[in-house]
Structure 1
Amino acid sequence: MELVTVPEIRAAAELLKPIIRYTPMESSRPLELKVGGPVHLKCENLQRTGSFKIRGAYTRISRLDECEKAAGVVAASAGNHAQGVALAASLLGMHSTVFMPVGASIAKLAATRAYGATVHLTGANLDEALIEARAFEAEHGAVLVHPFDHPDVLRGQGTVGLEILEQLPTAATVVVAMGGGGLISGMSAALKGLRPDIKVIGVQAEKAAAWPESLSAGHPVRLTQMSTLADGIAVGEPTALTYRHVTEFVDEIVTVSEDQLSQAMLLCLERAKLVVEPAGVAAIAAIMAQPESFTPPVVAVLSGGNIDPLLMLHVAQHGLVAAGRFLTLQLDIPDRPGSLARLVALVGEMGANIVDVFHSRQGSTLALGDVEVNLRLECRGADHAQQLAEAVSAAGFTIRQRA
């Protein structure tokens, strides 16, 4: 199986020039302080369709022959590849059909339809949607545009690597989210082809990490289950094509937790003023978790920014909790006049902000003469949250649960 080459990726870049956005590279002061050197963000969340996927989709579809174009294309996707295929097909005057998991983001679903695709919701994940897409291909003759299992897709995605070296020729480490491995395969082929000394690190969500086990086994291995907020990188099994590229070019693969993903998304919102989906912040999550492992100058690829607003609110709140900036206390306090006022005054003196308070005299586990109080508080961080809990306990209030 042939590896994609730098000349092929350069040819894809020329093809894509009038189609894609040359996305900006932004420096990140908070990450620089952690790493001890320059950290830059490659903002593919600002790409057309909100992710890098248009690069590979357009490269693949534009090179179909006239008979294939007339038959239309079909794809399976959790959302970002769907939008890339839909827009690419529309730009080329073709019809596209996309199969998406039943639980796909409403925002991604609506955008895919807006780009002109016929969308079918089927299956619980990408792998099940892909089965339906293959069946549609066999029945209707449409060309399957796989999200990562074709050299032209890898060539298109590899153009991100070319741009990084043009924008930051001194880059020492490039960190990339990975699911099936299409982006990191194409990028690493470009990066290593031009700069063999550069380090390429892939990042997976630990609850959807097929790559570590596959690399240990020496061949692609299918996961039996996945559960992650990062739907864009929730892929159950690599392909032989991406496996070959990753084993050839990628230096290391690390995993990140759901808490780390949510904190990374919060950092993007608060400090970088960038909307990035959970899969798109995987590289930042890895840098935040182990900053000493990344030699600067570092480039973190923000691979996508397509997130449902409700999910964004949920993940942001999860990130606040994980960062110790949001504290929930369930307490028992004496059912006497002034008890609640004393508790509230204590919290105020400690510099916390009460989001809401719930007061109830009903509860099977309550001692006679006690009342249950639930407080949700905004804190300054993990240390402040700990100080608050200790002060509440020292004041004689019984903490039953803390979150």
Structure 2
Amino acid sequence: MRKWALYFTIMLLMLAALSTGLPQQAKAAGKDELGLESEAAMLIDASSGQILYEKNADKLLGVASMSKMMTEYIVLESIKNGKITWDQKVKINNYVHRLSGAPELSNVGLTEGEEYTVKELYQAMAIHSGNAATVALAELIAGTEKNYINVMNKKAEELGLKDYKFVNSSGLNNVDLLGNYPAGDETSENQMSARAVAKLAYRLVKDYPEVLETSGMASLKFRDGREYKNFNWLIPSLIFGYEGVDGLKTGSTDYAGYNVTSTAKKGDQRYITVVMKGKTKNSRFTETTKILDYAFNNYKKEEVLPNHFIPKKKETLNVVKGKEDKVKISTNKAISLLIKNDDKDKYQTKLVIDEKKLNSKGELTAPVKKGEKVGYITLQTKDGKNIPFLTSDGKNITSVEVVATDNVEKANWFVLAMRGVGGFFSDVWKSVSSTVKGWF
């Protein structure tokens, strides 16, 4: 009896240990892969928009001065379209002058009544996060900062941003705008999700790569004789210098916390990172360093699907009215992706044949030309999920056309007639055979 009591006690202890361990295991499994303390973060491939890491990517958060990337985009687009020029003069009004001298705000001093070029104001905004310079550019483009909010919203929609709210051009809290609220009230502040910020940065770098010529400058020597430092301390010559960093934008307010959108290039590979609502001024940079190290040390571009790949279990398609009754199929180009070390075998293909090309029996009809598209192959993860990208362009990267590898000419009338006769007698023979079998 004592032996059974001992066994029962041991079993109870084992069950208790297991039940105690389960929540810890679940918690560990759900823990952020990089252990970041920031509220939200993203890592993407700057070339394709492939998403390599995300944390709370769709949560709407304060964005602060990172919203100036929208004005960078709009200014560069306006330059390209000839609406404004780099050497165009902008006269500073009283409001912009007063804002440029507001204490505890990032600014370069702008003198009332004096004229500054678009390039000077743009550099002040992109390098030293000049808030008044941003407002001056907004007024130049839209007449008033209130009108400029409509420009920002329209551009955000064009770029496919989903989670955002703009109440001013600079990213300041409205309460700091000396009683001038372009939208919202005194407590309002610009908001974006990490995904929206990443998409904005992705489009900015992709559409206007010249942005990096300015955002990568460690400091700005302004006309007042002063030198203004770049707040992005990840730029190589600054405090948290990281090899290859040449942008993009920092931002911080009491509401938004500490933010930074960064981009770095080594060799042919460029990444974009977003860190939002960091705990401290420095942690946003140390955590970005962690994300960039993770990217450069763990990912590399590889050919996942070779050119002329032949789908398994579907090497050919049946053909009717042709000199041949089958045609081989294969892909017409390779698919390359950023792959995490040793993860190449974690992908699978999904073949989709174009039903419009087939008859009711699932056959192609001759003639079939070599290189003719008959469908496509999509690359997926082994669990059937699509590979994540920032934009719909990702479908073009992970999908490849499937084509006929040979010509199949249409058979002449005599051959088709003989086949018809042969088919008729074949059907008759099958019918007779079935009948005879039924006799026995």
TM-score normalized by the length of structure 2: 0.25
Question: Which structure has the larger Rg?
Answer: 2
TM-score normalized by the length of structure 1: 0.26
Looking at secondary structure, tell me which structure has more helix per residue: 1
Looking at secondary structure, tell me which structure has more strand per residue: 2
